[in-house]
Structure 1
């Protein structure tokens, strides 16, 4: 299979320069090597496989030390990325507010407020490590791809989507309680990690944040964190969850979600458009 030739052009160079302050000069050279190799690599992403893509004379041992031992901070890199994202999107957010002001219908009374929505999307994924025996954080996790439990890492990940642009937040490794005891680290559940992400997240100014998570994370604690931040949330609900349903007379009662959904008519459903990797998707 033919692959494109990718050089360090102006756009890629500008992106790399964002992280210049987070690395020493030798470390920065390895960063550029890794980025270029990941864009080109069509084989297994081992250190040897990555270096085969770059004619730069870097050694496997040097790349290994850069990734595992060099004193650079992943948190600093993630912070630089989101800072760059804020700087680039600030003007676009103002332009979108202005566009909405121009297009809103004129009439009496107070004009409708313009809203620019950013989506904070949270999920977890399993990274299968069939040969990883000495890696830290290894545990048994369910893989939707393999449809069974596999040995590997479970990463809790978040993505910020605003005006068609995407900014990944730093991933967090989930360790099961037995793994935490073995490695001597404090235990954090996936809900703990997602709650911390929501509470610490800083959106681009003058935007409304809408949190999207699946049914695994649906709980009162997470909803409370969202509402305390002034965000919105849409999450999945398992069919056996109980809801407090209010009838037309204002009386309420508890009802299972599957029973409630069975009595809904087609007219009671409302189509919504959610962000998608390729184009907005209507659900």
Structure 2
């Protein structure tokens, strides 16, 4: 099998050094190698496949032991990573002169596993509210997780990924655990609130913060919690949600004589779509402050309108829809995390080991977003320099471009190292054995 990594990526090492991780040198080396292997490995990100990417690498069991039994502070590493990425995002946004607005999007998803999986503590059956329907529920086996995405101006990052376990599952796992190692159940609301509380001290004053979520999270508790923090919430609600004691769908039907306001929103692919919008104002049940509800339809006969609720009474409808469209990054992140970075490819049994695997994926993904943000800042400066010349602007790199560039850097280093070694030794066979990790070369290989 063709190896890919001669030594860790210098850019990834620089990123990890700037985090100031409280790890020993061997632990830091294991974490960097794991994140590097996640980015380079194609296909399933199993520990064995990751180990095969290195020209010189320890046994896969060493990586598993790093996740399972190595004594390193998982939460401290998480907090250091979060602090650095938020601070750097704020610096880049300030340098580019972006609006002082921070959008925090909350979403959940399921990293699917095989139905026969039975011994991985982080894996369970979960209800899929996207494909499941009323009267026909659909359950999937996998790891349920909650992602908190942050958009600082135009700089995007993933602040946190939390594993969600059902209360019934937590009780079952705790029966086999000693008292000091028992897990604590946290509802999805509690996990989201915990992440937002960790984000709060990292945000400077003077920035407007909006929490974006779908109707599964727009609860009175989250609304009131955000308002106590001085933040605003922007999220969809169900049609049966009551405003001033009356369902919002009934209230909207009573306003059918009122003209629609046309709101045009530009999607991420540049496509422009116009929505027909009516606005309601009032108080939701057990929410002390008044809110605005925008009822949007794609056409006048649309029977499935969307109800978008916002706590900022001064926010215009067009701006609200444009900002809520930033939740598209949720889908982008979830695709990369699950499909390209192998968030659900772990095969370690303990919950704590799976949690560390998720942290390694979070570090690898934020490294990609960090390089993307730095490249966008450099591109922005180039655009300013050539603006007077009316030259065509350079498009900033996508996350896929950064991952491809990361792999190409390793390919250049690998080939240069192999050629240099062949020149020094004056023969090819030892080089092939070393760089392809072959104990015996196949027949027919020239000397």
TM-score range, shorter chain: 0.7 to 0.9
Shift of 1:36: 1.4
Alignment partner, residue 256 of structure 1: 247
Alignment partner, residue 162 of structure 2: 172
Asked whether 1:159 is paired with 2:159, we answer: no
Under a length normalisation based on structure 1, what TM-score does the superposition of the two structures give? 0.78
Alignment partner, residue 48 of structure 1: 48
- Structure number with greater CO (CA < 8 Å, separation at least 6) is 2
Q: Which structure carries more helix by proportion?
A: 2
Query: SS where residue 210 of structure 1 aligns?
Result: strand
Query: SS where residue 26 of structure 1 aligns?
Result: helix
The C-alpha deviation readout for 1:197-220, integer Å capped at 9, x for no partner, is 333422431322110111111111
Alignment partner, residue 149 of structure 1: 139
Asked whether 1:116 is paired with 2:100, we answer: yes
- Any unmatched runs of 5+ in structure 2? 133-137, 175-182, 263-276, 278-316, 333-395, 397-447
2:109 to 121, 125, 129: 125
- Any unmatched runs of 5+ in structure 1? 101-114, 245-253
Contact residue 93 and residue 154 of structure 2 kept, 8 A: no
Structure showing greater radius of gyration is 2
Query: SS where residue 222 of structure 1 aligns?
Result: helix
Contact residue 148 and residue 160 of structure 2 kept, 8 A: yes
CA distance in 1, matches of 2:60, 2:48: 6
CA distance in 2, matches of 1:122, 1:77: 22
Under a length normalisation based on structure 2, what TM-score does the superposition of the two structures give? 0.51
Number of aligned positions between the proteins:
253
Per the alignment, do residues 123 and 20 of structure 1 end up closer, same or farther by CA in structure 2, a change over 3 Å counting? Answer: same
Shift of 1:255: 2.7
Alignment partner, residue 191 of structure 2: 193
Shift of 1:170: 3.1
Contact residue 18 and residue 80 of structure 1 kept, 8 A: no
Shift of 1:28: 1.3
Matching of residues 99-110 of structure 1 within 5 Å:
99=97
Query: SS where residue 225 of structure 1 aligns?
Result: helix
